[in-house]
Amino acid sequence: MEFRHEVISFPKQLPIKFFLHRIGQVNRHWHQSLELIINIKGSVHITVSNQSYELGAGDIILINSNEVHELHAEDATMIALQIKLELLKEVSTDVQKMYYDCNSARSGHPDRFKPLKRIVAQILKYNIHPNEYIDLKNISLVYELIYELGSNFSTDGKDINSYSQENLDRLSRILDYVNSKYSDPISLQNMAKTEYLSVPYLSKYFKRNMGMSFSDYLKDIRLHHAVNDLLNESLTIDKVAAQNGFPNVRSFVVAFTEKYGELPSVWRRKHAGEMLGSIEATKEKSVNYYQDEPLSYYEDITAFIESNLESAPVDLPQRIGSSRTSLIKVPAAGSGQGLRHHFKNFIGVSRAKEVLLADVQQALRIAQAEIGFKYIKMHSLLDDDMMVYNEDAEGKPVYNFQFIERVFDFLLSIRLKPLVQFSFMPKKLASNLEKTVFYNHINTSPPKSIDKWNGLIRALTRHLIQRYGLEEVRSWLFCVWNEPSSSNLLFGFSHDDIFNQLYQNTYTTVKQIDSAIPFGGPAAFSTYNKNEDWLFQFLNFSREQGCTPDFITIHYYDIDLWNYNGQDNQLNLSPVSHSFSEFIDRLKQRLHESRFESLPVYLTEWNSTVSHKDLMSDTCFKSAYIIKNLTENYDRLDAFGYWLLTDLHEENLLPQQLFHGGLGLFTYNNIKKPSYHAFSFLNKLGNERIAGGDGYFITRSSTGFQILLHNYHHYDEVYAKGVSISISYHERYSHFPAKSRKEFNFELAPVSGTYDLIEHLVNQQFGSAFDNENNIGGAMEHSADEIHYLRSISVPKLSKSRVHASGALPIQAILEPFEIRLIEIIEQIVP
């Protein structure tokens, strides 16, 4: 399989294109451009014109125009520059006729290649955050690169024009045919007939130009695609062989074993779950998004730049501009739009057992006292660490609900009602003991006995009613499973029918006990660029079977799958800042068209990313992101369940670093992040909206007015594509090249009287725990005094002033990049 990530795509007038590669295999190909490859990590096996080389870390090679080459690597990171010589027409020297002998793998003089690496490092450095003059810098660096190649690596040792255009066209047609028809029963005889050539001539022609026989090349292409298909657990080995052109499974197994040194079945078991975002044939829209470590090249790139430039600060100085709004007149009188503050309907904790942790309980108490959420969403109520299900020697179920009682008792004590999610599968009830996810290996397989599953659901539901009372339980929410739309490698199943039957059985079991208990679902996973087809297929099924959910639950993350060469390989962040609104527009439109618009829609998981190691999650970026998206979509859904309450959870091995990019509103030791302050600001809004627009949301209450402001900036396309070149533990705001201050000017009218203006603000100087840690010198571990200090200083700035208004009240505010600010205007009774 091949993983390629384009970092910089230069303008069309520039003769160069720049890539960052992570490869498994790139089959034989050629191009008329020069290609300069620098291997910066791992080992690469490369074949150029039938000569093979091993590139180690730091090696560099130049592939000349029209040279056939292929690459293989298990885990390597490379920089590649493609240079279009035909665009250098104004150069007096005919560089297109030059041949370059540049290969450090066969040279004993590594210092000879340092100038080339220095130039490439400069290209990287200056294009991390380009300004408006970057094209001029790029042009100068391209010509410096060509000068260095021509001066020190050009040679007359080979005629690079030995391939005629006619020859190249013929070879292109043959390879295009093979690459598009590899799954069909094609042969050398077919190809010879198409090209009007004899079979012997074509056989010799192909081997002379490609360095291998036609049959071997065809076999390699078929294996290249078959490897990707093996990662799809829903496909049998027979099916993989058949859909990739092998005449029978035996020929596939023999070819695969010869190339990879092991049977396809063995290879599949070893690499299960390896391909991020694998799409299953039975779930075209499904996604496996779980990752232990997000794709990130910044350490490798930073090391390369620093080692090849004498002074290489990666973070180039950035100008912070300023934007100003025109005067915004705010109608202080008259009726406003009523608000119900649905953002408070849900908060989330990763696993039910975590609710029993002292630090998680403390975080929940703080959130309930200061904000006050209604429901809590959590996974793993039935996991083995909850000790819910066992079987005796005869195979009869044994139930134990003591841990569930302790979890629910605590939640009810702080006025939180549970979303009772029946998940995941106790091992004694699991149909596949190997189907597990996360650090604790929770089982996500369907039950081996639906009758025993129904018995467990029945016993637990009755126990809850007996312990807490029917009226109380009727005020809770119930559902089954989590993200069944995801890949079989994560929470989903190999076929949708499996989940549909699990849902129908669980729904029916609960409703038979008491039909008034709210039961919903299906916790479908959605992204910014994905149609919700799976969700609506499920809803149609439920309506046809008479088990329509009482409410709809859905998850949304601002991510999507990056597609390269027809394969979905890499999870990326949304490249546009309004994708959350587009998702809600799309969802509500389809609910209306499908006649499900009367059902409440609870967004029970929501965030900008699924990664627990996105370093921006600890910063002021996330607080501005929350304010922007919630104020632009206020109350449009019946819940906005931000995921997650705290970094203290057990999906991944907990990192040692305090600010490791976790999704929590709190750090794992309960320091409030800027994202928490965003919710505390929202909680101070009034019950009537009287104005709103770009960056502002204004409400009215019985005591006065509330102006909520944000200065949001979206990350650049490089970061959106998953390549965090210049970000590091200490520098996390570098992927925002156009950030600027934002000035607001309001006039509230009619307003008369005396008012207190109370301003709360969070930015990099105030209320940001990460930035505060940076200021005192971040470390892997902190003393108790340091934690206490960070907790005490990481609060929003507060200022207060008294103003008098006679007819109108002017308000002005200038926000720093990523700042959020709440201005409370409280009327005073002055004697």
Among 75, 70, 80, 82, smallest CA distance to 224 is for 70
CA angle, residues 735, 737, 741, in degrees to nearest 5? 115
DSSP notation for 625-667: HHHHHHHHTTTSSSEEEES-SBS--SSSPPPSSSSS--S-SB-
User: Residues 81, 120: contact at Cβ < 8 Å?
Assistant: yes
Distance CA 746, CA 805 (A): 13
Residue with tokens 């990099």: 764
Distances (CA, A) of 481 to 377, 419, 422, 485, 500: 12, 11, 6, 10, 11
Distance CA 640, CA 581 (A): 13
Q: Quote the tokens at residue 170.
A: 């013929």
User: Residues 224, 246: contact at Cβ < 8 Å?
Assistant: no
Distance CA 408, CA 404 (A): 6
Coil vs helix vs strand at 272: coil
Classify burial at 598, counting beta carbons within 10 Å of its beta carbon; exposed 0-12, middle 13-18, buried 19 or more: exposed
Q: Quote the tokens at residue 647.
A: 């970094």
Q: Beta 69-83 vs 16-29: how paired, if at all?
A: antiparallel
* H helix runs in 46-133, sequence order: 114-128
From 35, 67, 280, 483, active-site residue: 483
DSSP notation for 472-487: HHHTSEEEE-S-TTS-
Distance CA 442, CA 428 (A): 13
Residue type, position 816, single letter? E
Among 473, 566, 466, 482, smallest CA distance to 525 is for 482
Q: Beta 477-480 vs 417-422: how paired, if at all?
A: parallel
CA angle, residues 783, 787, 789, in degrees to nearest 5? 115
Our answer to whether residue 483 is catalytic in this structure is yes
Distances (CA, A) of 713 to 45, 198, 628, 737: 42, 63, 10, 9
DSSP notation for 116-185: HHHHHHHHHHHHHS--TTHHHHHHHHHHHHHHHHHHHTEESSS-TT-S-HHHHHHHHHHHHHHHHHTTS-
**What separation, in Å, do the N-terminal and C-terminal C-alpha atoms of the chain show?**
78
Other residues' Cβ atoms within 10 Å of the Cβ of residue 85: 18
Distance CA 587, CA 533 (A): 10
Distances (CA, A) of 167 to 162, 188, 257, 403, 419: 9, 18, 34, 74, 67
Q: Name 563's Cβ contacts closer than 8 Å, sequence gap at least 6.
A: 569
Distances (CA, A) of 640 to 243, 375, 738: 43, 11, 29
Among 41, 78, 434, smallest CA distance to 273 is for 434
Other residues' Cβ atoms within 10 Å of the Cβ of residue 319: 9
Q: Which residue numbers are catalytic?
A: 483
